[in-house]
Every structure is written in structure tokens, then in C-alpha cells.
Chain A
Amino acid sequence: MSPPEWRSKVRIFCACQVLQENPAPNNTDESDAPYGHIPSTLMKPWALHKLEYLYFCDHCKSTKCKQCVTQEVISRFCPSCLYEVTESSARASSNKCLRNCLQCPECGSSVVASSEGDTYKLNCNYCSWKNDPKLKLNKKVAIGLQVFNLYKENEGSYSRFEQIRGSVNSSLPKPVTSSLTTFRMNTNTKQHFEPFPEPIIRVIGSTDAHEIVLPKLVELRGKTSKRCKVCRRSLTKPDPRPSSIKFRNKSLAFNFLPSLFIEKPKNVPSIQNPLVTSSITSGQTFMLTITNSLPSKIQLNISTSQSLVTLIAPQVEIGPNSDSWDEESLIQAVPFSHISRQTNVTRRVFMEKERPNPSSTMSGIHDKGPNWVTVPIEISTLNGNIDTSLDIPLFLSISYEESVDEVEHVTKPSSSKLVRIGVWYVLTIHGLDGIIANNPEDL
């Protein structure tokens, strides 16, 4: 039987819900004492986020998640033809594109219109759906608008056919818009839209009741800016143009907070640290690499509320992030264990690398680079009782010097102030039992 696969993940706790429940006058002491201050919602999935999904308010010096930012729609566009639509047009069109964009009612793929005599014939790009020949489209009017008008005209009569539709369409997949609803504009714009009818209509002017399936209209998407709910400062503001991915400003946690990476133990004795070797029999030593994202050096104080975990080096200093993304800098910014393919540059960086000196090994640091350190973290196995997965909450108290470049300080350009940030990370390790079982000699 093969052991369960080793996996780990790192999530960051956004404290917004805690602050809402009991708004402390200020949270300055938060960065000092994690014990006794363990947030009640720490392990709640909705409070934990991947680093790449969080914002960072540089004014409040705290993370911001989707729940603690205010969003404002700054432009609306069709994701298919990429045309920008004004707010009033979007409202009038129930948030649909009225140009020539259509979706297949069966599979949701885009539909192509090709000229056929005095009308258009519609074909799905993916499945075999094509329009009912009874659906006559005028070549002088945008197809989206014509289809939209057909939906509108049939809105009243639509409910009568719901039952028929139900029996006809029950085997069909759910309408594609269901997956889109979560990011239909934002809530205050959305409330103006009425629910849109299903794509079955009664043919206009037809004497016998005959239903035809209309193609679906494409739902517009919105570009939103985000603000900190507490101080109202802008966190991200995109360029309103649909094809642009530029931002006027972008304040992301990714560029502020350290990133964490945990590695499973290697078979080689990992460290020459007497502190560690004395206790290795009680557990497994993992390697935790912490990478600084800030352009200044940081002082880190790490603590954990997980009693099975011992941090060998709870206090570390990490150098500044160069912010340079050239090949050499990127290789220097990771431990050598992360190199999977040797190149001339990896070999050169390896040759030129400074080895950690014995004094830093004594301080518990396993390895370090310009903007990262690797520290051992020991997980005790509780006399052989190992769970398959383990959550490790880590409290990181980060402090760094920030230059103050306000106008008042022109005379003192080098003035700086000390900034302290406290953030909870939750490391989750899966397949721990497999690792322990694989290394019985280490137990």
C-alpha cells in the first residue's frame, strides 16, 4: 500500500470578522502577544485566504479580503466582443450584450452567425445546436438586440410554457449563467435587473403554439475597484478599458507579506544543531522557508499555538527583496532544493553562494539567501499517534523600517519609522502519516 501523498498548503488569516465582532480601540498589542489572543475564527475556512487573493492596506497595515473591501464597478464590458457598455445601457439590457454575441442554449459555447439568404443561420461552435428555421433574424439589426427583444416580448407568455420546457429540457445541463452569477456586477447594480426568462419562446405571430429555443445572450462583466472599508483608501483601481490589464494602483498582500513554504524531511540528517539532534527522536524535522516580499529587511518573530510543533529559530532577520525578476535574482531567491533543472546560471549561483556560517547554524537557521531563510520546524508525533493532516497556526510578528517621505520631512529625507505587523498564517500538512511511516528509522 502506497503511503498517502504529501501535500501542504498555506493560508493567511484576515482579521476583519474578529474586529467587527469586538472592535478594539486599536490593535497595536496584537503584534506582541499571540497567546491569549488567538482569534476565535482562526480556523474558519472563510477567514483563511491564499496570499495571492489578499489585498494589503498600507495605511492600516493589515490584510484585506473580499469581505472587508468595498467594491465599485468602474466599467462594464462584454467578455466575448470586449466592447465597453455604459451603466445605463447595461441596466436597460438586463446586463446582456446586445451586439452580435450569443451563447448556445445547450452547452453555453459561443454561437456563430453566418449569412443565409435574407437571414442568419446560427451554429454552436462546440455542439450540434443550430437555430430553429422559424427564427427569422433581420440582417440590418444586431442579432443580440433582436434576440433580446424576442425574450422581452415573450416574458409574459413564458410562464405558460415553463412546464413544457421542464419536460423538454430536463436532460439538459444547467444554464451556463449559473456559474457566472457570482460575479455579475456588484450587488448594488444587480438589484436593478429583473430575472431573465428561460430560452424557450413562443414564435411571434404563429397561429399554433410552437416553441423554439433561443440562443442565450452573453452576460456582461464588470471591472471593479477596491477600497479599504476602514480607511476608505484605494487598494486597486483598474484601467477601465476592457482589453487592458493595467492598474492605476494595486496594493496586494503578495507584495507585502512574507511567503511560507514547508518541505518534507530529507533522509540526510538535516542540521548540525545540537538543539535539534537532541530532540529528533520525538518527531520529524521539516524545513520552513520564509521569503521576504518587502524592499526592506525585516525582523520576524514566529510563534505557534500548535503544541505538537517546536520552532527551532523563533526569531530571524530576513534581507530585503530585490524586486528584480531576472533569472539570477530568482535563483538566489530560493533554496537550492527548489532547483529542478540545472542551467549555467543555477550552477554559477551555486558556486558563488555564501554558505551560512557556523554562528547562524547555532542560531537555528538551516540556510539563508538574500531575502529568505530556511528554519527547521519540529513536529512531534505524540508517541506514534499520527493524524493524516495537521494544522499549524503560526503567528508572524513582522517589523521593519519604513522611510517617511512626506513633504514636511523634506529637510530630513532619511527619516524612517518602525512598522510592526502581526499576521496569522495557517500551515496545513496532509499525508503526515505517510512521511512518518516512510522513515521508521527516524522514529
Chain B
Amino acid sequence: MVKPDEDEHGSGPSQKQEAAGNSAIRNNTVNSKKTQSAAQLAAKRARGSQQQKQNSEYIETESGNRISRKSAIQGSRYIVLGGKSLIEHNAVLRGDLHRPDSNGPVIAIGRYTILGAKCSITPPLKSETRYPVKIGSYVHIGENTSIQAASIGSHVYIGNNCDIGKFAIIKEAVVIEDNTVIPPFTVISSFSKVSGSPAKLVEELPESADDVIELYTRRLYAGIDVGILPFLEAD
């Protein structure tokens, strides 16, 4: 069931999760060139011109990140994207808020992560020092949501207009409903669906949660109209 070329054709549920860890992310910065065969490059150039026009809203990087030209990525040197992520217009990534004494990434994002319009990712501040934000793979961040978390695991859905407080830890397979406030330093454990201000556990998610969220983010990246996440659909 798994295609051999995992990187280009990530296949099956959760196959590559570990590989999307830090070291893998590091090798795929926004500006990095991935090795590509000459034939692939030539084919790409040939198709390039007319697609550039149709696709002009987004820039596609070598590692498949689709980034809105209207997004606000600051300090891209300090941001690493694992590839195949989608960054919508007016999404703000504050890579510029890094530690002056460190060249390490201050925002690290895995693969197939969707950053909705007008969301913001800000490294959290403690005693005048900025700390890194780590976001896993298959993560959906809704419109207008602000993130100051320490970490967000893989297979996580965060709705619109949420506020994820500083140093919060969101584990894997979590759903956060629209308009939720996660207070600072809060830990949300796996298979939780939370809602409200402050966030309360409203449901324990079924065992399908990680697969369903992964499929949802992969489809969103591919341009498929995904509708509402099944765990958020009214009864």
C-alpha cells in the first residue's frame, strides 16, 4: 500500500510522522533547493509560464509549500517548513522574534500544515526571552487564530478565532473548536475535543481522529473542498 518514494508521494496514514521531526524539517527551509532531476526541472519550466499566471496568488516552493503572496512571513531565516504546507493570505509568522544569540529556528512547522488566513504564529515570551514554537504535521490552524504555544503535535485541528496561549502544549490528535481560548501553560492531551473560553473538554475523540485529520489536511493542501471536519458536524 505504500509507494516507495515517500517524500513526493506521502502515502497511507501516518507513515512519515517521525521523519517529520526536527532534523527532517531543518533540511527544507523555505529557500532551500531540493535535489530534483534535470528532466523534472525542464518539465516544470516548460509548464511554468502559463501556470504562474493562473497560480499567481500562491508561490510554490521546491518542497511543495504553497504560500500566499499576501502572507506576512517575517524572519524567514528562522522559520523551517517541512514541505507541502499551505499558508493563506495575511497569515503572520514572526520568525523575526528569535533570540539574538541563536541562529536556530524559532518556528518549525511539519508537513501538510494549513495556516489559515489572518492567523498568527508568535514565539512565546518569558523573562524577555523568546522561545521556539514547534508545530507538527497535518495541522490545521483556522482563520484569525493566534498561536503562542510551545508545541502543537501532529494531527491537530484548530478552528477559527482561537487563542492558543503562550507555552501551551497541544498533544497529537486534538480538535479545538472555533472561538476557543486555551489559557497559557495549558496541556491538552491526545484525543481531546475542547471548546469555550477557557477551554473545556467536551468530547473524547474516537480512534479515527488522527487518520481523519490527516486526510482532511492532505485534501485541503490538494485543493479539495473538504467541508466541515466530521468531529465538528452538528448532530
Contacts and interface: CB of A to CB of B under 8 A. Distances in A.
Contact of A330 (B66, B173, B206, B218): B218
A21 interface: no
Interface in A10-30: none
A250 interface: yes
A275 B131 CA distance: 65
A245 to B, nearest CB: 5
Contacts of A236: 207
Contacts of A338: 224-225
A250 B233 CA distance: 23
Given A125-B165, A236-B207, A324 B1 contact: yes
A325 B183 contact: no
Given A245-B173, A295-B1, A339 B223 contact: yes
Interface in A148-178: 176
Contacts of B165: 125
A385 interface: no
A375 B206 CA distance: 31
A109 B51 contact: no
B185 A324 contact: no
Nearest to A45: B235
Interface in A94-112: 107-110, 112
B185 A110 contact: yes
B201 interface: yes
A345 B222 contact: yes
Contacts of B47: 344
A340 interface: yes
Interface in A70-117: 77, 79-82, 107-110, 112
B190 interface: yes
Interface string A122-148: 001111000000000000000000000
Contact of B11 (A51, A243, A247, A326): A326
A261 B207 CA distance: 22
A110 B183 contact: yes
A108 B195 CA distance: 13
B13 A325 contact: yes
B114 to A, nearest CB: 12
A327 B60 CA distance: 15
A9 B11 contact: no
Q: How large is the interface on B (under 10, 10 to 19, 20 to 34, 35 or more residues)?
A: 35 or more
Contacts of B222: 327, 330-331, 343, 345-346
A126 B12 contact: no
Contacts of A270: none
B187 interface: yes
Given A183-B204, A346-B222, A125 B1 contact: no
A324 B187 contact: no
Contact of B186 (A82, A109, A295, A331): A109
B208 A245 contact: no
B189 A107 contact: no
A247 B171 contact: no
Contact of A50 (B204, B219, B230): B230
A323 B207 contact: no
Given A107-B198, A109-B183, A326 B189 contact: no
A324 B218 CA distance: 11
A340 B214 contact: no
B1 to A, nearest CB: 4
Given A324-B12, A326-B11, A340-B224, A126 B206 contact: no
A98 B231 CA distance: 32
A263 to B, nearest CB: 10
A265 interface: no
A243 B235 CA distance: 30
B190 A325 contact: no
Given A325-B218, A329-B11, A245 B212 contact: no
Interface stretch (B2-10, B30-38, B90-98, B102-110): B2-10
B55 interface: yes
A334 B199 CA distance: 35
Interface-centre pick from A127, A221, A341, A345 (highest chain B CB count, 10 A): A341
Contacts of B23: none
Given A50-B230, A245-B191, A331-B224, A112 B55 contact: no
Nearest to A295: B1
Interface in B8-53: 8-13, 47, 51
A238 B209 CA distance: 13
B1 A330 contact: no
B191 A327 contact: no
B230 A51 contact: yes
Nearest to A225: B207
Interface of B: 1-3, 8-13, 47, 51, 54-55, 60, 66, 84, 155, 165, 171-173, 181, 183-192, 198-202, 204, 206-212, 214-215, 218-219, 221-225, 230-231, 233, 235
Given A50-B233, A52-B209, A77-B189, 6 more contacts: A50-B230, A53-B208, A80-B189, A325-B215, A327-B9, A342-B55
17 contacts: A9-B233, A50-B233, A51-B230, A52-B208, A79-B192, A107-B198, A109-B199, A110-B183, A112-B185, A126-B181, A245-B155, A245-B190, A254-B212, A327-B84, A334-B219, A342-B223, A346-B223
Q: Give the top 6 A-B pairs by smallest Cβ distance, nearest first.
A: A326-B9, A341-B223, A79-B189, A126-B183, A340-B225, A125-B183
